[in-house]
Amino acid sequence: MGPQIHVTILSRADCHLCDVVAKLARRLEADMNLSVAKVDIANDAPLLRRHGDRIPVVLVDGLEAVAGRMTESELRRAIERTAKKARWRRPISRILSRLSARLRRG
């Protein structure tokens, strides 16, 4: 299994849709090697200004993956796609990828 993927769900208290998305993420937790956290944006002024009523928002390794209503399969695809982008943004990933390609070419 690859490195652990950090999933953060931006939510608010008494948000039914946020609770549903958190439950979906927890179902995927073991299967996809996720660590899931839920953050109440009401306690964070910058997040509240940025996202306002547009919740739930799912962040994967710090990058926004998806927002609003979603199914389990949509969440899975968004996590996979965004985790790949997040890993590629890390310099060591790009270096190792290029080195691996050079070694295969000979």
pLDDT tens for each residue of 13-66: 999 999 999 999 999 998 899 999 999 999 889 988 998 888 999 999 988 999
CA dihedral (69, 6, 32, 15) in degrees, to 10, reads -30
Query: What percent helix, strand, coil does the chain show, rounded to 5?
Result: 55, 20, 20
CA distance 8 to 60: 7
Residue 10 near residue 63, CB atoms below 8 Å: no
Residue 71 near residue 28, CB atoms below 8 Å: no
pLDDT at 6 over 70: yes
* pLDDT of res. 73: 95
Task: Read off the pTM.
Answer: 0.77
pLDDT at 102 over 80: no
Pairing of strands 5-11, 34-40: parallel
* pLDDT of res. 85: 78
